[in-house]
Structure 1
Amino acid sequence: MLAQIARRLATAIPSIIGVIIVTFLLTRVLPGDTAAYFAGPAATPQAIEEIRAKLGLDKPLPVQFVAYVKDLATGNLGNSLTTGQPVLDDLRARLPASAELTLLGLLLSILIAVPLGILAAVRQGSWIDHLCRIVATAGVSLPVFFTGLLLVYVFYFRLGWAPAPLGRLDFFYSAPPDITGFYLIDSLATGDFETFRAAFSQIWLPAVTLAIFSLAPIARMTRASMLAVLASDFVRTARASGLKPSKIVLGYAFRNALLPVITTLGMVFSFLLGANVLVEKVFAWPGIGSYAIEALITSDYAPVQGFVLAMAILYVLLNLAIDILYGLVDPRVRIEA
């Protein structure tokens, strides 16, 4: 297993190097002038040139790239011109907010989509099967930002069941002690149930938005994979042997159908990291997605490069986790590897 992990990490190094090069080049061709933006509309050309020289943007691209790689080698992602803080500190402070929202949205979608896909496969052609198709079609058809705005309109503006979409906590509450960075877990760990209730009231609506977005692929893959396994010979033999239907479906069929579902979960999680950018803007969520958007608007290179690099590393770790799960679910994967 350790050798497999080492091989996967080794194959990911060229991908990360490619991400660094492409991100650096793309940020330099973006429209807008960083020096002119931060100098202000009343700045003179001389003042703009001084800021450009201070930022190192007057140097040739190869020189800028070498300096950027040297900073990366020492763990320095640069400073954000917008916040005035090191990009690494900004990402470290904002990543738990994005991770908590993404993981909760994925958990909600799994709790709904997997049982729905199993029932749709077991009762093919029934109303549950038709419901699964409707949910899958709706989840694919609705843009995630439109779903978020619609939920805000219904549950906040019309019904009043949700608080104003203004971040992780209401202004009347303070953040719990920083243990994991996840407000729900930290408030429970410290026994602060009032803060837990306030944090949950703020997060459930954006989490539902992400869950609706990710329901479709998980439900469809679970249904398709279960249908393929239920039609196999060993399932028919198990039925002929008189085993309980629940034992056949959950103990044999579902476990053999898990590998495609796990692959889909990995893809959906990566999609959610991208969809987070829009959801965070709709709900004023202080995560790394909104941080990257704000930096992109102001042509602030360092946060954009740090954001893309962080996403690339997260994707590598995600693929590694999927490979490990493959071995845990199906021992034959470990033997073949």
Structure 2
Amino acid sequence: MLGKILKRLGTVVPSLIGVVIVTFLLTRVMPGDPAAYFAGPAATPEAIEEIRRSLGLDRPLLEQFLAYVVDLAQGDLGTSLTTGLPVMHEITTRLPASAELTLLGLIVSMAIALPLGVLAAVRQGSWIDHLSRVIATAGVSLPVFFTGLLLVYVFYFILGWAPAPMGRLDFFFSDPERVTGFFLIDSLLMGDLELFRAAFSQIWLPALTLGIFSLAPITRMTRASMLAVLASDFVRTARANGLPPGKVVITYAFRNALLPIITTLGMVFSFLLGANVLVEKVFAWPGIGSYAVEALIASDFAPVQGFVLAMAILYVLLNLLIDILYGVIDPRVRIEA
């Protein structure tokens, strides 16, 4: 297993180099002039040219790229022109907010989709099978921002069960002492249950929005994988030997159906982490997605490049984690490796 991990890490370096090159080139061909944007509409051509020189945009493209690589090797992702803060600081501050929201949304989705997919496979053709298809189709058909606005209207405006969608905490609370960056975990580490309740009251509705949006692929993959395993010879043998139905389904069938489900969970988490910007906008969530979009609109190169690089590293680590889980779930994967 260790050899497989090292081998996978060895193949990562060319991918990250490609990401750095492509991201750098794409940000340079984006429409809009950052110098003109930050100079303002009333700026003279001389003032715009002065800003362009101060940003290094007047230098040849190769020279700009080499300077960027040198800074990147030193852990310097540049400074955001819109906020005036180092990009590394912004990413390390905002990434836990996006990761906490995405992870909780995935947990909500798993809590609904996995039992639903298993029951739909066990009772194929029944009402619960049809219900799972309807729920999965509805979840993926509704735009995520519409689902978020609908939930805000129902749970905040009509029922009053949720607080105003104003970020990670209410104005009356201060951020917990930073340990993991996850407010739910950090508040528990502080032993502040009131702060935990405040953080949870703000996050459960956007997490539910992401969970509904990601129901479809997890439910469908769980159902399809379970159907394939339930039709296998060893499951029929287990049933013929008189084993309890619950043990056959959970111990034998579900564990052998986990590999494609784990792959789907990894893909869904990666997609949600990079695409939850609409949810962040609806709920005023200070995450990395909204930060990158605002920088993209302003033609602010450094945050966009830092965002793409951070996402690429996270995807690599996530794929590595999935490989490790493969070996834990199915020992044959370790033997083949």
Q: Could you tell me the TM-score, scaled by structure 2's length?
A: 0.98
Tell me the equivalent position of 1:191. 191
After superposition, the C-alpha distances for 1:88-135 in whole angstroms (9 at most, x for unaligned) are: 011011111011000000011111100111111111111111111111
Tell me the equivalent position of 1:266. 266
Tell me the equivalent position of 1:331. 331
Measured in 1, the distance between the counterparts of 2:165 and 2:25 equals 36
Tell me if the contact between 1:120 and 1:223 (Cα under 8 Å) persists in the aligned partners: yes
What displacement does 1:274 show? 2.3
Tell me the equivalent position of 2:165. 165
Tell me if the contact between 1:108 and 1:208 (Cα under 8 Å) persists in the aligned partners: yes
Local SS of the residue matching 1:168: coil
What displacement does 1:270 show? 1.1
Aligned pairs for 1:4-19 within 5 A: 4-19=4-19
The one-letter amino acid of 2:23's match is T
Measured in 1, the distance between the counterparts of 2:154 and 2:147 equals 11
Measured in 2, the distance between the counterparts of 1:99 and 1:3 equals 29
Measured in 2, the distance between the counterparts of 1:111 and 1:302 equals 38
Tell me if the contact between 2:34 and 2:299 (Cα under 8 Å) persists in the aligned partners: yes
What displacement does 1:158 show? 2.1
Give percent identity, aligned residues only.
Answer: 80
What displacement does 1:287 show? 0.7
Aligned pairs for 1:175-254 within 5 A: 175-254=175-254
What displacement does 1:321 show? 0.4
The one-letter amino acid of 1:109's match is S
Tell me the equivalent position of 1:122. 122
How many pairs align? 337
Q: CA RMSD in A?
A: 0.9
Tell me the equivalent position of 2:63. 63
Measured in 2, the distance between the counterparts of 1:25 and 1:219 equals 39
Tell me the equivalent position of 1:49. 49
The one-letter amino acid of 1:130's match is H
Aligned pairs for 1:144-163 within 5 A: 144-163=144-163
Tell me the equivalent position of 1:86. 86
Measured in 2, the distance between the counterparts of 1:177 and 1:274 equals 26
Tell me the equivalent position of 2:32. 32
Measured in 1, the distance between the counterparts of 2:254 and 2:280 equals 35
After superposition, the C-alpha distances for 1:122-159 in whole angstroms (9 at most, x for unaligned) are: 11111111111111111221111111111112211222
The one-letter amino acid of 1:159's match is L
Tell me if the contact between 2:274 and 2:311 (Cα under 8 Å) persists in the aligned partners: no
Which segments of structure 1 move beyond 3 Å, counting only runs of 4 or more? none
Unmatched 5+ stretches in structure 2: none
Unmatched 5+ stretches in structure 1: none
Tell me the equivalent position of 2:106. 106
